[in-house]
């Protein structure tokens, strides 16, 4: 048996891909306790930063898990005796099986959330009120089980914050798509105009080429006439010379 001690992300990086059967973890919750450890999780100023760190760690956890492996995570946003009731009871992911469940999910919304280091997608499942967070590489890296019924205002705020950002990003994306489509249409219009202009120029070139052909023929004719005239002059000279000789 090997024991790795230290920062979760650093230690996970030392472990071989798809070599672990089971991970059980209880990471610090956000902004609740100071464990007095250097580089500790949980005291980040924003939820974004906290999620970003967890996401990076769980991406590594996903990597080291075998295809048949299971991850158990205990994560809420408050401890049991507190007045507030947990809204984010983190579920574990089952590598392989989870993807199937995720694919079956009916989405309430979908958005792109840029947490600076990586682009994550959030999917919210209507039925189970599950919030999936998917990394840029398509792996499901976090999965939240959200209990709207039990939540208090504080918890709802966190959710509203996340959903707000998702919707904001969605709007930005739609606006971007709209502009892109307009630009594409404009480019298509220009392409057609250029195509028509090219066609006109081709026709003009055709006419010029046939004109050139006629001119060439005329030159040829004139040259031939010149030759005939030359011969005629020479013959006349010869006749004159002969008449003088006599
Ligand atoms: C909620 S407690 C879990 C306690 C654990 N279940 C136990 O019985 O000891 C969170 C633990 O994560 C540790 N921790 C905080 N930041 C960490 C990090 N970056 N890497 C690894 N462990 C960390 C804390 O020191 C604390 O011991």
Burial code of 26-35, b = ≥16 C-beta within 10 A, e = fewer? ebbbbeeeee
In the numeric block, which tokens belong to residue 50? 């906290």
Per-residue pLDDT of 62-109, as tens digits, reads: 788 877 766 666 665 545 443 332 333 333 444 455 555 566 554 433
Partners of residue 112 on adjacent β-strands? 121
Q: How many domains is the chain built from?
A: 2
Q: How confident is the model at residue 59 (pLDDT cuts 50, 70, 90)?
A: confident
Atom 4 in ligand 1: residue holding the nearest Cα: 26
Asked, for residue 245, whether it belongs to a domain, the answer is yes
Domain end call among 125, 151, 177: 151
Percent of the chain surpassing pLDDT 90: 36
C-alpha torsion angle, residues 219, 225, 227, 232 (rounded to 10) = -160
Residues 15 and 61 in one domain: yes
Per-residue pLDDT of 184-224, as tens digits, reads: 999 999 999 999 999 999 999 999 999 999 999 999 999 99
> By the 8 A CB rule, do 20 and 66 touch?
yes
> Is the minimum distance from the CB of 52 to ligand 1 under 6 angstroms?
no
- Nearest of 47, 29, 242 to residue 164 by alpha carbon: 47
Q: Specify the pLDDT at position 47.
A: 72
pTM: 0.45
> Is the minimum distance from the CB of 37 to ligand 1 under 6 angstroms?
yes
In the numeric block, which tokens belong to residue 2? 């090997």
> By the 8 A CB rule, do 95 and 140 touch?
no
Partners of residue 70 on adjacent β-strands? 22, 94
Q: What does the alpha-carbon distance between residue 122 and residue 5 come to, in Å, rounded to a whole number? A: 32
Phi, psi of 168 (to 5 degrees): -60, -50
Asked, for residue 80, whether it belongs to a domain, the answer is yes
Among 40, 42, 73, 90, the mutation site with the greatest number of ligand 1 atoms within 8 A of its Cβ is 40
> Is the minimum distance from the CB of 73 to ligand 1 under 6 angstroms?
no
Residues 142 and 182 in one domain: no
Domain end call among 151, 185, 210: 151
Percent of the chain surpassing pLDDT 70: 59
Among 28, 30, 34, 44, the mutation site with the greatest number of ligand 1 atoms within 8 A of its Cβ is 28
Q: Specify the pLDDT at position 138.
A: 59
In the numeric block, which tokens belong to residue 58? 């769980």
Give the atom of ligand 1 at the shortest distance from the alpha carbon of 27. Answer: 10
Among 8, 25, 76, 77, the mutation site with the greatest number of ligand 1 atoms within 8 A of its Cβ is 8
Sheet holding 130-134, edge to edge: 88-90, 140-146, 130-134, 119-125, 107-114
Q: 40 CA to middle of ligand 1, Å?
A: 8
Q: Which residue has the higher pLDDT, 176 or 95?
A: 176
Residues 178 and 95 in one domain: no
Q: What average pLDDT score do residues 18-40 get?
A: 85
Residues 19 and 138 in one domain: yes
Domain end call among 127, 151, 175: 151
> Is the minimum distance from the CB of 7 to ligand 1 under 6 angstroms?
yes
Residues 75 and 143 in one domain: yes
Residues 112 and 177 in one domain: no
Domain carrying residue 36: 8-151
In the numeric block, which tokens belong to residue 52? 């970003």
Q: How confident is the model at residue 135 (pLDDT cuts 50, 70, 90)?
A: low
């Amino acid at each position: 048996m090997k024991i790795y001690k230290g920062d979760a992300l650093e230690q996970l990086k030392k472990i071989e891909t798809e070599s672990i059967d089971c991970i059980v973890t209880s990471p610090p919750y956000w902004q609740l306790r100071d464990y007095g450890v250097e580089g500790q999780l949980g005291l980040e100023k924003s939820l974004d930063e906290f999620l970003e760190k967890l996401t990076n760690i769980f991406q590594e956890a996903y990597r080291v898990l075998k295809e048949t492996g299971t991850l158990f995570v205990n994560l809420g946003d408050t401890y049991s005796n507190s007045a507030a009731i947990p809204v984010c009871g983190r579920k574990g992911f089952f590598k392989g099986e989870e993807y199937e469940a995720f694919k079956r999910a009916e989405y309430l919304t979908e958005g792109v959330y840029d947490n600076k280091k990586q682009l994550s997608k959030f999917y919210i499942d209507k039925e189970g009120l599950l919030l999936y967070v998917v990394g840029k590489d398509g792996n499901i890296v976090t999965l939240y089980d959200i209990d709207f019924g039990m939540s208090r205002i504080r918890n709802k705020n966190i959710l509203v914050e996340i959903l707000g950002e998702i919707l904001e990003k969605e709007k930005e994306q739609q606006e971007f798509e709209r502009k892109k489509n307009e630009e594409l249409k404009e480019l298509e219009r220009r392409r057609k105009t250029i195509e028509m202009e090219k066609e006109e120029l081709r026709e003009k070139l055709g006419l010029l080429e046939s004109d050139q052909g006629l001119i060439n023929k005329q030159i040829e004719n004139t040259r031939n006439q010149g030759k005939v005239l030359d011969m005629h002059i020479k013959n006349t000279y010869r006749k004159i010379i002969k008449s003088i000789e006599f």
